[in-house]
Amino acid sequence: MGLTLRFGSAHAFVLETTMPKIKLHKLAAVAVLVATAAWVATGEFSSVGSAADEAPPPPAETAAAGPAVHTVSVINPPEVEHARAIRVPGRTAADQRSVLAARTTGIIEELPVEKGQEVRKGDLIMRLEAEGKEAAVESARQTLEQRRAELEAAQRLAKGGNLAKLQLDQARTALAQAQSQLEAAEAELDRTIVRAPFNGVVDSVAVEVGSSVMQGEEIATVLNLKPILAVGQVSEHDLSHVSKGNAAEVHLVDGRVVEGKVRYVSRDAAEGTRTFRFEVAVPNPDAKIPAGMTAEITIRADPVQSVLVPRSVITLGENGELGVNAVDASEKVVFYPIDLVDDTPDGLYLAGIPADARIIVAGQDLVKAGDVVNPVPADASLVGKLASDEARPAQ
């Protein structure tokens, strides 16, 4: 085979070849090689059957159908009348408490009581040595009798015209002075005696016979524990539900439970806590309940319309308040803030919930107010299980 180069006027050249005839299959191979080189030069690669040649998948059916509708279990609890229970911590206190003190200075002559002794109003607690005070009383009494006799004689003389009116007035003045002196002497003698101010028990005795006491010094403490008081502080929120005469239960720290009635509610809040003091009078005929014992006080207010639900239905609202989720007639979730009436082993008594409300007892934490749900009645076994789980003590 030979090659001949021939240049034209336009600087082009022509390659003339002289070769034998090329077979057809060789020509096809050359064509394939040229096409492959051209494809590689473009840089566009795509594998056969790749995702680029496939049609895009259709959109998900769930996205087209909108958000999923939750199925929740609901109950429609019947309304009942239940007394509102207000529970507050408290303590017991004596109905009356008096710290007796010496009324004058002196030496203790008689001390006929001891700690724990029951006394009646007016019983002698302590007597000081009289130190001439009894004699002063007797002298003042004699002087009074003398002034009284002098006045009677002056009145007889004045009636007969034998005594001037001025002398009669002087006799009357002398009698009044004698009466005043007797009363002063008797009061001074009475200050040596200390008596019980009411029926009660002597809780402590701070002195001994023969010891010297100063005026105002503590002698003994007397308590009246019949009735015993349960004292606590009620909050501003609950004050409107507490009134005189309400029944109350007092759970003592030793396990005893006694009943009484509210006898006093303060109308002046404590400065630091903004709470109001109240007192519950509890019968204590044998004085076995002491003062100062820790107690939990449950005040029973007037009954109100309420529903009984398991504790587990309580959830949080959008603003963080406690409440329950319910379903209205349009199958939408409605949130009701709770008004707790009572917390019992059987569940919670709540007020302020409409009578036709269907309360969600399962799935309430998965929905919020305004959501459309699919409510189904809760079976008795579910409600029973919720109640039993709540009543079961923690392990």
Question: 324: domain range?
Answer: 70-81+304-391
**How far are the Cα atoms of 73, 140, 267 from residue 186, in angstroms, in the given order?**
85, 9, 43
Asked if the bond preceding 20 is cis, omega within 30° of 0, the reply is no
Residue 200, exposed/middle/buried by CB under 10 A (0-12, 13-18, 19+)? buried
Specify the pLDDT at position 97. Answer: 96
Residue 280, exposed/middle/buried by CB under 10 A (0-12, 13-18, 19+)? buried
> What is the DSSP secondary structure assignment for residue 145, as one 8-state letter?
H
- Find the mean pLDDT for residues 334-362: 85
Q: How far apart are CA 236 and CA 239, in angstroms?
A: 5
Q: Is residue 357 part of a domain?
A: yes
| 272 lies in the same domain as 231 | yes
Q: Is residue 228 part of a domain?
A: yes
| 319 lies in the same domain as 265 | no
> What is the DSSP secondary structure assignment for residue 197, as one 8-state letter?
S
Band (pLDDT 50/70/90 cuts) for residue 60 is: very low
Band (pLDDT 50/70/90 cuts) for residue 372 is: confident
Spatial contact of 154 and 174, defined as CB atoms under 8 Å apart = no
Q: Considering the chain, what is the average pLDDT of its residues? A: 82
Placement of tokens 């060789």 in the chain: 26
CATH number of the domain within which 134 lies: 1.10.287
394 contact partners, CB below 8 Å, separation of at least 6: none
Among residues 149, 174, 191, the one where a domain terminates is 191
Three-point CA angle 367, 373, 376, nearest 5°: 110
- Find the mean pLDDT for residues 116-124: 95
Q: Is residue 23 part of a domain?
A: no
Q: Is residue 297 part of a domain?
A: yes
> What is the DSSP secondary structure assignment for residue 104, as one 8-state letter?
S
**How far are the Cα atoms of 63, 72, 377, 388 from residue 381, in angstroms, in the given order?**
36, 15, 12, 10
Q: Is residue 52 part of a domain?
A: no
Number of domains in the chain: 3
Residue 281, exposed/middle/buried by CB under 10 A (0-12, 13-18, 19+)? middle
Q: Is residue 377 part of a domain?
A: yes
Over the stretch 129-155, which tens digit does the pLDDT of each residue have? 988 888 888 999 999 999 999 888 888
Q: How far apart are CA 74 and CA 327, in angstroms?
A: 8
| 318 lies in the same domain as 273 | no
Beta strand residue intervals within 185-321, DSSP E: 193-195, 200-205, 212-213, 218-234, 247-252, 257-265, 276-282, 294-309, 315-316
Q: Which residue has the higher pLDDT, 334 or 367?
A: 334
| 309 lies in the same domain as 381 | yes
CATH number of the domain within which 259 lies: 2.40.30.170
Residue from 94, 88, 98 nearest 278 by CA: 88
| 366 lies in the same domain as 325 | yes
